[in-house]
Homo-oligomer: A and B are copies of this chain.
Amino acid sequence: MTPFQLSDELLEQIKLDIDARHDKTLKKLLQEYHYADLAEIFDALPIDYGVYLFKLIDTEKTSDVLTEIDEDVREDILEALSVKEIAAELNEIDTDDAADIIAELPEERQKEVIEQISDTEFAQDIRELLTYDEGSAGGLMAKELVRVNQNWTVTRCVKEMRIQAQEVTRVHSIYVVDDENVLLGRLSLKDLLTANDRSKIKSVYIPKVDSVHVEENGEEVAKIMSKYDLEAIPVVDDDKKLLGRITIDDIVDLIKDEAERDYKLAAGISSDVQADDSILELTRARLPWLILGLIGGLGSVFILEGFEGVMSHPSYRTLFFFTPLIAAMAGNVGVQSSAIIVQGLANDIVKGSLWHRLLKEIGLSLINGGALAILVVLFGWIAQQPIEVSITIALSMLCVIVVAALVGTFVPIVLHRRGIDPAIATGPFITTSNDIFGIFLFFYIAKLMLGF
């Protein structure tokens, strides 16, 4: 298969069909496409068209489409639906997705929608899920799971599972609990397929199961699941009582979102914007970082003004020509050092003390900086620069590189230790501060060496 690509022609055709109220054609189209593809169509349609089309979807599919579409579009569609209509859609959906959708509604409406849900157990589950923090295991988990009692026989277990399985989209593991709902272990489907019908669950289940606490951080859960190759993990409370489960598909989205966020932060783009967002949203995500860069740049104007006198010197004025090079080196080295630390921190591979780390970075930047310094001297020789100027430039650049590497290593580690996301330190933040540091250091060292 190749993933669906929304063409302008298809979009135009849909709009024409909506204008002409060709409900039959539209319904056929809605049946034909996968919900993830329909979500793309809804994201691209003007909102009145979207609302009209949305009401034509089969009830089974509506909820899936609703889960997949963009938050903004979903908000608009939900606004156009009555409380009753929303409640009806939610009935078909998994508790975790339902809770996520309800959480987006205004508080007053949340209550009204939950009251309209006919299945009281489902409504209760959603009320519970809404109490957990969005970024926690509780906020990620679904209440749907297959749970069996250790005292059942395999036959009873299969019978009960047939009932439970109808509510669960995908059966990953069967969780074994005692009479108090305390999680004891698991029963893989494979084990169940090969087990004797008369055995008691107690005698066939695996008394070992990984679980996460309901308040565990979502990123930590993602780390655990991907490290230990888990496709689902049960969620428990303080008393080890089984509350729900988190499945790998929710984690895939989390890992992707996380990676994209770090990448954007490193590029100086905050918040969740995409290439197809409006100019206003993109400006809001980009301008603050540019202003930060501007303030840094103005800072270096001040520093350079302090060395204005050097401009009168016939051979030392060359130093000014090298400022963009110094700034670029300081910025590049700082970004490299911070990016590798941020990624190491995310993957838990930054070991050893801060001092050890800094020492390694000094070694690394002396090697890199040394090689670059030689190139600079070589360039000076070709350009027939006075040798003392070339050596001064090369040596102060080397110092700048070492300092930039140290700053790039130090800042993210310290941020991380203080519980602040170190990814914010990889982008314009590190470039800007290293620009200022670098230029000051460059001229200051040059001043000491050349004695102007």
Contact = CB atoms under 8 A, between A and B. Distances in A.
B211 A190 contact: no
Nearest to A256: B255
Contacts of A268: 332, 335-336
B293 A328 contact: yes
Contacts of A338: 267
Interface stretch (A17-25, A81-89, A114-122, A342-350): A342-350
A291 B375 contact: yes
A190 B210 contact: no
A445 interface: no
Given A3-B223, A36-B229, A190-B165, A264 B321 contact: no
A327 interface: yes
A294 B256 CA distance: 34
Interface in A216-262: 220, 223-224, 226-229, 231, 248-249, 251-253, 255-256, 259-260, 262
A380 to B, nearest CB: 10
Contact of A328 (B304, B327, B344): B327
A273 interface: yes
Number of identical protomers: 2
A289 B331 CA distance: 12
A224 B3 CA distance: 6
A371 B428 CA distance: 18
Contacts of A162: 193-194
Contacts of A274: 340, 343-344, 347, 349
B332 A293 contact: yes
Contacts of A260: 259, 343
A204 interface: no
A168 B273 CA distance: 41
Given A34-B228, A193-B162, A301-B321, A290 B329 contact: yes
B320 A364 contact: no
Interface stretch (A45-53, A55-63, A124-132, A279-287): A279-287
Contacts of A340: 264, 267, 269, 273-275, 282
Given A323-B323, A435-B328, A170 B276 contact: no
Helix, strand, loop or mixed for chain A's interface?
A: helix
B329 A331 contact: no
Given A194-B162, A327-B328, A375-B294, A269 B227 contact: no
24 contacts: A2-B220, A6-B351, A166-B194, A168-B190, A170-B188, A259-B263, A264-B340, A267-B335, A267-B336, A268-B332, A274-B340, A274-B344, A274-B349, A275-B344, A275-B350, A286-B368, A290-B329, A290-B333, A291-B375, A297-B325, A298-B376, A323-B324, A324-B324, A328-B331
* CB-CB nearest 5 A-B residue pairs: A297-B325, A275-B344, A259-B259, A267-B339, A304-B321
Interface of A: 1-3, 5-6, 34, 36, 158, 161-162, 165-166, 168, 170-171, 188-190, 193-194, 210-212, 220, 223-224, 226-229, 231, 248-249, 251-253, 255-256, 259-260, 262-264, 266-269, 273-276, 279, 282-283, 286-287, 289-291, 293-294, 296-298, 300-301, 304-305, 308, 311, 317-318, 320-329, 331-333, 335-336, 338-341, 343-344, 347-351, 360, 363-364, 367-368, 371-372, 375-376, 379, 426-428, 431-432, 435, 439
